[in-house]
């Protein structure tokens, strides 16, 4: 019976197996090409400039926004770059899906009134919504500086979605991130966000 089936339909079975293997190979090649294109885009965006924008919240408060495009790393890239940090935080790289790095510098020059105390020391204090600084110069010229700086950041992850022909054709733009620093004395000096791809 098998001989009859193989003689009669053997050619069709071989053609079916070949078609399936060609389809599977094409899907794998497409997946690898997409991954290669994504990593190529990441390499070109690796040293991108941060785009700064001033945002007016109300008449008296202005804050700054920093914006960059998301980078894409593979699990092995993530492990190579953050191996010590992942090990110290007891986190497996396969459990991470996004990394955001933000660095900011707070700088300001302010004038305050210094007060001479009864022991011959000098005290000065600066206090506002984001910083508390107490400076005390002792009579022996030793100085005590007590300071506290607060920073407040808001992070938006954005991916614009588009459609055409009433939603029949859909696509998404590259992901990007916007970070808003609420401290007017602070400036974002480094910003990078990384998505982990399969």
pLDDT in tens, 57-68: 777 777 777 777
User: How many Å separate Cα 180 from the centre of its chain?
Assistant: 13
pLDDT value at residue 38: 66
Of 180, 190, 172, the C-alpha closest to 100 is 190
What's the CA gap between 95 and 79, in Å, rounded?
11
pLDDT value at residue 95: 76
pLDDT in tens, 121-158: 788 888 887 888 888 888 887 888 888 888 777 777 66
Confidence band of 4 (pLDDT split at 50, 70, 90): confident
Average pLDDT over residues 174-198: 74
Q: Is the pTM of this model over 0.85?
A: no
Domain range list for the chain: 1-45, 49-108+149-198, 115-147
Strand partners, 64: 54, 181
pLDDT in tens, 54-109: 888 777 777 777 777 777 777 777 788 778 877 887 877 777 777 777 777 777 77
What's the CA gap between 154 and 4, in Å, rounded?
72
pLDDT value at residue 41: 67
- What SS3 state is found at 72? strand
Q: Are 191 and 68 in contact (CB under 8 A)?
A: yes
């Amino acid at each position: 019976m098998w001989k009859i089936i193989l003689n009669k339909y053997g050619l069709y079975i071989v053609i079916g197996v070949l078609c399936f293997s060609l389809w599977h190979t094409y899907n794998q090649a497409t997946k690898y090409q997409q991954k290669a294109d994504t990593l190529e885009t990441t390499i070109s965006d690796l040293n991108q400039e941060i785009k700064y924008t001033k945002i007016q919240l109300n008449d008296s408060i202005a804050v700054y926004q920093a914006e960059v495009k998301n980078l894409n790393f593979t699990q092995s890239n993530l492990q190579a770059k953050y191996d010590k940090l992942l090990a110290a935080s007891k986190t497996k790289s396969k459990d991470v899906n996004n990394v955001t790095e933000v660095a900011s510098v707070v700088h300001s020059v302010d004038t305050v009134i210094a007060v001479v105390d009864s022991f011959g020391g000098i005290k000065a204090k600066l206090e506002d919504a984001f910083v508390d600084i107490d400076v005390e110069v002792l009579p022996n010229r030793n100085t005590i500086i007590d300071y506290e700086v607060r920073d407040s950041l808001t992070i938006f992850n954005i991916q614009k979605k588009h459609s055409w022909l009433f939603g029949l054709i859909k696509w998404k733009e590259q992901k990007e991130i916007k970070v808003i620093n609420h401290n007017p004395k602070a400036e974002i000096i480094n910003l990078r966000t990384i998505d982990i791809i399969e």
